[in-house]
Amino acid sequence: MSASIALVDDDRNILASVSIALQSEGFAVRVYSDGDTALKALIDSPPDLAVLDIKMPRMDGMELLRRLREKSAVPVIFLTSKDDELDEALGLAMGADDYITKPFSQRLLIARIRAILRRSEARAVPDAEGEPAPAAERIVRGRLTMDPARHRVQWAGAEVVLTVTEFLILEALAQRPGFVKSRDALMDTAYQDDVYVDDRTIDSHIKRLRRKFRQVDGEFKAIETLYGVGYRFSEE
């Protein structure tokens, strides 16, 4: 079955050109020209991935993502204005998996869509009985429990909803607690296929991970920063 992609942009030229490009790559494409209409559709019938423009009238992409994240962890790529670093940082902090600045290459967009979908599919292991993964397949580090087969994370028994990128970064850190992972190593884990991201992108993901865990445990300190070196996970 073709992966479904939702495009949300008030620029009909972008909707038309990008949808044609994605359809030619075998994707099933749904288009929306405003955030209000898109929000209901994305919640009622979630796509495999959504591409959201940030600057739209009425409900912009930021507000759309904020409301979407209350109901869904569907992967999201943001389209941002050229060189607008504030948009990029806010988008990542609010739960976007990636961002691309306008004007953008359709080839680059398709490469990033495929990279994120591959990571999502790697986590989507069918489980007809709804049972958790066997203990040998889970990662248990102190109060953290990760179930890669079902893309589930718990902290002290409380569910923590993560995007695919967040999950992969946390998994890389938790696999070897106490060992430092450089930003480059985390980039290689979360962004494959030569998709370029910079240090600030990884830092934004780490900040968002910490915030999500602190929503269930205000004293969460398991992800440590070693300035100038990278990050590590501590079981204590």
- C-beta pairs of 64-73 under 8 Å, 24+ apart in sequence: 64/8, 64/35, 64/38, 64/39, 65/91, 65/94, 65/95, 65/96, 66/94, 67/39, 68/39, 68/42, 68/43, 69/94, 69/95, 71/43, 72/42, 72/43, 72/46, 73/161, 73/162, 73/163
pLDDT tens per residue across span 188-230? 777 655 455 555 778 888 998 999 999 999 999 999 999 989 9
Q: How confident is the model at residue 129 (pLDDT cuts 50, 70, 90)?
A: very low
Asked whether this chain's domains 4-123 and 135-233 adopt the same fold, the reply is no
**Per-residue pLDDT at 236 exceeds 60:** yes
Question: Mapping DSSP to helix (H, G, I), strand (E, B) and coil, where does residue 177 land?
Answer: coil
Question: Mapping DSSP to helix (H, G, I), strand (E, B) and coil, where does residue 6 land?
Answer: strand
**Per-residue pLDDT at 128 exceeds 50:** no
**Per-residue pLDDT at 12 exceeds 50:** yes
Q: Give me the percent of the chain exceeding a pLDDT of 90.
A: 51
Q: What are the residue ranges spanned by the domains of the chain?
A: 4-123, 135-233
What CATH number does domain 135-233 carry, 3.50.50.60, 3.40.50.10540, 1.10.287.980, 1.10.10.10?
1.10.10.10
Q: How many other C-beta atoms are found inside a 10 Å radius of the C-beta of residue 88?
A: 23
Superfamily, domain 4-123: Response regulator (3.40.50.2300)
pLDDT tens per residue across span 133-179? 555 578 999 999 999 877 789 999 999 988 778 888 999 999 999 99
**Per-residue pLDDT at 131 exceeds 70:** no
* Terminal alpha carbon distance of the chain: 44
Torsion of CA 44, 50, 56, 62, to 10 degrees: 90
pLDDT tens per residue across span 68-84? 988 888 999 988 875 56
**Residue 233's beta-bridge partner residues?**
223
**Residue 181's beta-bridge partner residues?**
231
pTM of the model: 0.66
Burial of 163 (0-12, 13-18, 19+ CB in 10 A): buried
- Look over the chain and give the mean of its residue pLDDT values, rounded to a whole number: 84
More confident site: 205 or 234: 234
Burial of 100 (0-12, 13-18, 19+ CB in 10 A): middle
> Residue 199 has which token pair?
């240090």
